[in-house]
Amino acid sequence: MTAGVPTARRSVFVAEVGALLAAQAVDAVLVVQADAVPRGITGSLLTVVLPYAGSATAVLAVLRRRFPRRVELLAGAVVGLSLLGTAVAGLAPRAPLQPVVTEVLAVLLVAAAGCRRLPVWRAAALAVVAGATAVLAPSVRYGLDYPAALFPVAAALAWGAALALGLILRDADARHRRELERIRTEDRLQLARDLHDLVAHHVTGIVVRTRAAQALAQHPVEVFDEIEHAAAEALTATRGLVGVLRSDDPLPSPSLVLGDVVRAAAGTDAAVHVATDVEALLVPAQVSVALHRVLLEALTNVRRHASATEVRVTARSDGDELVLEVENDGVTGEAADGGHGVLGMGERVAALGGELVAGPRGSDRWVVTARVPLAFDTLPRGV
């Protein structure tokens, strides 16, 4: 979904470098046409130094892409070099004329970047200084005689366009951050609902074991150990998901082991087989929650609607996909119609970028198969 973003950025970068190279070519033509001849040691020194000022500003302007957090420093260097060249032109009339096209373009680029990234007041200060620099450079170096007076006008118009572009990008960034925050909030709400379901499942197990302890009061020790274990599982699951809800990250980091997720969902209701290659596979928290809910739903359907004597849960890899299967030998006519929450399970698996198939296998078995991509870093948002 985001594959086009780097390509677009590269296109903008290439266009920017092309514009700066074209500006350098224009400056080179203007230098050839200039008839100013430097005199004395100072003039000769300026002839050696000044021609590289435009190239330096171009390089600094491009570097702002590599160091976006140093925009203010790079902008100050670009503006400073341009003002230095303008000051030399004003104070040393016999100095060689230094064209301004590359410098003005570099100043406008860093001004636009500053308007996009810097805090409001610092961006405003940079915009004013950059505007003054862009207008002063052609005014002082070429004068205000016609047609040279058109240079400052063009620079002022370009400055306005650069500020508008920077403000448009600033607004786009703000809208993007708001969209990310909205998605993050939706993720947390979904995780909160899953937290409720997960804890309810474990607490139900605690209640069942407690009732069993009451019925077997003469030998309560083993049952109470099971109750303690179930309560510990509930606390662990709760803490894990609450930690995800408190995190500011848009996606939780991978930290849950697939084998543990499958066994926690299956409990004692099914025989579990997890292939060696995926036993210790780390999966993102939102993926583990979705798989947990799918397994719970499939096993709940077996308990409610099938007269099963054998239930198996299998986890394995198949190429670049993770495959989960819930198989039982208690097929009913209703199950054969594809009911019992199959639609809800399919939606959860589809949200992970996979697919779910439920149907008979042979004449006496029913299988629910979920396939999920193993490339968890490319999963769709909002899982």
Element (H or E) spanning 357, and its range?
Answer: strand 355-361
Report whether CATH 3.30.565.10 matches the domain 252-383: yes
198 CB-contact burial (10 Å; exposed 0-12 / middle 13-18 / buried 19+): buried
Domain edges within the chain: 4-180, 252-383
Element (H or E) spanning 368, and its range?
Answer: strand 365-373
Q: What is the CA radius of gyration of the chain?
A: 34
In angstroms, rounded to a whole number, what is the distance separating the alpha carbons of residues 71 and 63?
A: 9
CA angle 207, 210, 213 (to 5 degrees): 155
| SS3 annotation, 93-104 | CCCCCCCCHHHH
In angstroms, rounded to a whole number, what is the distance separating the alpha carbons of residues 17 and 21?
A: 6
Q: What is the pLDDT of residues 214-259, one digit of tens each?
A: 666 665 566 666 666 666 666 666 666 665 555 554 444 445 788 8
Token pair of 47 as six digits: 């002839």
In angstroms, rounded to a whole number, what is the distance separating the alpha carbons of residues 296 and 359?
A: 17
Token pair of 106 as six digits: 């570099």
Residue entry with tokens 């198989």: 327
Q: CB-side exposure of 253: number of CA atoms within 13 Å?
A: 6
> What pTM did the predictor assign?
0.51
Per-residue pLDDT of the chain (383 residues; tens, 9 = 90+): 344 445 666 778 788 888 888 887 877 777 666 554 444 444 444 554 555 677 888 888 888 888 888 888 999 899 888 888 788 777 766 566 677 888 889 999 999 999 988 999 999 999 999 999 988 888 887 777 756 668 888 889 999 999 999 999 999 888 988 887 887 777 777 777 776 677 767 677 777 777 677 666 665 566 666 666 666 666 666 666 665 555 554 444 445 788 888 888 777 778 888 888 888 888 877 788 788 888 888 887 777 766 777 888 999 988 888 999 988 887 654 444 444 467 778 877 887 888 888 888 877 788 889 998 887 665 544 34
Q: What is the pLDDT of residues 100-158, one digit of tens each?
A: 888 889 999 999 999 988 999 999 999 999 999 988 888 887 777 756 668 888 889 99
